[in-house]
Amino acid sequence: MQIPEQHRQHFIGGAWRAPASGTYRPAKSPGTGETIGEVAEGDRQDAVAAIEAAKAGQDALAAMTRWQRADLCHRVAERIEAQKNYLAYILSLEQGKPLKSEAYGEIEAAATGFREAAELFKFMNGDFIAAETPGKRVISYRVARGIYAVVTPWNFPINIPVEYLAPCLAAGNAVVWAPAPTTSLCASALMQCIAEAGLPDGAVNLVHGPGAVVGDEFVSNPGTHGVGFTGSPATGAKIAQRGAGKPMLLELGGNGPVIVLDDADVERAAGAAADGAFFNAGQVCAATGRILCTRKTYEELAHHLTVAAGERVAGDPLLSETTIGPLNNQAVLTKVEAHVADGLARGGKLLAGGRRRPELGSDLFYAPTVIADLGEDADLNRAETFGPVAPIIVCKDEDDLIRVANGAGHGLAAGIFSRDLAKAFRFAETVQSGLVNINGPSHYWELHIPFGGASGKQSGLGRLGGRHTLEAVTDVKTISYDLG
Cα dihedral 370, 374, 377, 378 in deg (nearest 10): -20
Number of Cβ atoms within 10 Å of the Cβ of 6: 7
Q: Both 311 and 242 in a single domain?
A: no
Residue 6, pLDDT score:
55
Q: Both 232 and 334 in a single domain?
A: no
For residues 173 and 145, the answer to whether their CB atoms sit within 8 Å is yes
Q: Both 469 and 430 in a single domain?
A: no
As a whole number of angstroms, the distance between CA 256 and CA 258 comes to 6
In a domain, 454, yes or no: no
- pLDDT (tens digit, 9 = 90+) per residue, 99-116? 999 999 999 999 999 999
In a domain, 483, yes or no: no
Residue 129 sits at φ, ψ, to 5 deg, of -105, 125
Distances in Å between the Cα of 282 and the Cα atoms of 274, 275, 276, 455 are 10, 9, 7, 24
As a whole number of angstroms, the distance between CA 417 and CA 265 comes to 7
* Number of domains comprising the chain: 2
In a domain, 441, yes or no: yes
For residues 287 and 386, the answer to whether their CB atoms sit within 8 Å is yes
User: The domain spanning residue 129 has which CATH number?
Assistant: 3.40.605.10
State whether the Cα torsion 379-384-388-394 is positive or negative: positive
Q: 328 in the Ramachandran plot: left (φ > 0), alpha (ψ -120 to 50) or beta?
A: alpha
User: The domain spanning residue 395 has which CATH number?
Assistant: 3.40.309.10
Q: Catalytic site residues?
A: 251, 285
As a whole number of angstroms, the distance between CA 24 and CA 279 comes to 32
Q: Both 115 and 218 in a single domain?
A: yes
What is the end-to-end Cα distance of the chain in Å, rounded?
55
As a whole number of angstroms, the distance between CA 83 and CA 403 comes to 48
Q: Both 186 and 283 in a single domain?
A: no
| Adjacent-strand bridge partners of 372 | 349
Tell me the residue range of the domain where 131 lies: 7-252+463-478
Q: Both 242 and 260 in a single domain?
A: no
CA-wise closest residue to 3 among 161, 156, 191: 191
In a domain, 246, yes or no: yes
In a domain, 361, yes or no: yes
As a whole number of angstroms, the distance between CA 228 and CA 460 comes to 11
Distances in Å between the Cα of 181 and the Cα atoms of 385, 446, 464, 472 are 20, 27, 23, 26
Q: Both 427 and 384 in a single domain?
A: yes
For residues 391 and 344, the answer to whether their CB atoms sit within 8 Å is no
Tens-digit pLDDT string for the chain (484 aa): 445 455 699 999 999 999 999 999 999 999 999 999 999 999 999 999 999 999 999 999 999 999 999 999 999 999 999 999 999 999 999 999 999 999 999 999 999 999 999 999 999 999 999 999 999 999 999 999 999 999 999 999 999 999 999 999 999 999 999 999 999 999 999 999 999 999 999 999 999 999 999 999 999 999 999 999 999 999 999 999 999 999 999 999 999 999 999 999 999 999 999 999 999 999 999 999 999 999 999 999 999 999 999 999 999 999 999 999 999 999 999 999 999 999 999 999 999 999 999 999 999 999 999 999 999 999 999 999 999 999 999 999 999 999 999 999 999 999 999 999 999 999 999 999 999 999 999 999 999 999 999 999 999 999 999 999 999 999 999 999 999 8
Q: Both 340 and 385 in a single domain?
A: yes
Q: Give the DSSP H or E segment for 53.
A: helix 44-63
In a domain, 453, yes or no: no
Q: Both 295 and 410 in a single domain?
A: yes
As a whole number of angstroms, the distance between CA 33 and CA 239 comes to 31
Q: Both 474 and 373 in a single domain?
A: no
In a domain, 484, yes or no: no
* Helices assigned H by DSSP within 243-313: 266-278, 295-311
The amino acid at residue 387 is G
* Helices assigned H by DSSP within 440-480: 466-472
For residues 441 and 275, the answer to whether their CB atoms sit within 8 Å is yes
Distances in Å between the Cα of 188 and the Cα atoms of 45, 161, 207, 455, 468 are 19, 12, 10, 35, 27
As a whole number of angstroms, the distance between CA 352 and CA 113 comes to 37
How many residues appear in the chain? 484
| Adjacent-strand bridge partners of 290 | 257
Half-sphere exposure of 147 (CA within 13 A, CB side): 27
Task: Identify the DSSP state of 373.
Answer: S
Distances in Å between the Cα of 271 and the Cα atoms of 175, 215, 304, 315, 322 are 40, 38, 7, 21, 18
276 three-state secondary structure: helix
Q: Both 268 and 193 in a single domain?
A: no
Q: pTM for the full model?
A: 0.97
As a whole number of angstroms, the distance between CA 154 and CA 152 comes to 7
As a whole number of angstroms, the distance between CA 364 and CA 327 comes to 5
In a domain, 411, yes or no: yes
Q: Both 207 and 305 in a single domain?
A: no
CA–chain centroid gap for 231, Å, is 7
- pLDDT (tens digit, 9 = 90+) per residue, 133-175? 999 999 999 999 999 999 999 999 999 999 999 999 999 999 9
303 three-state secondary structure: helix
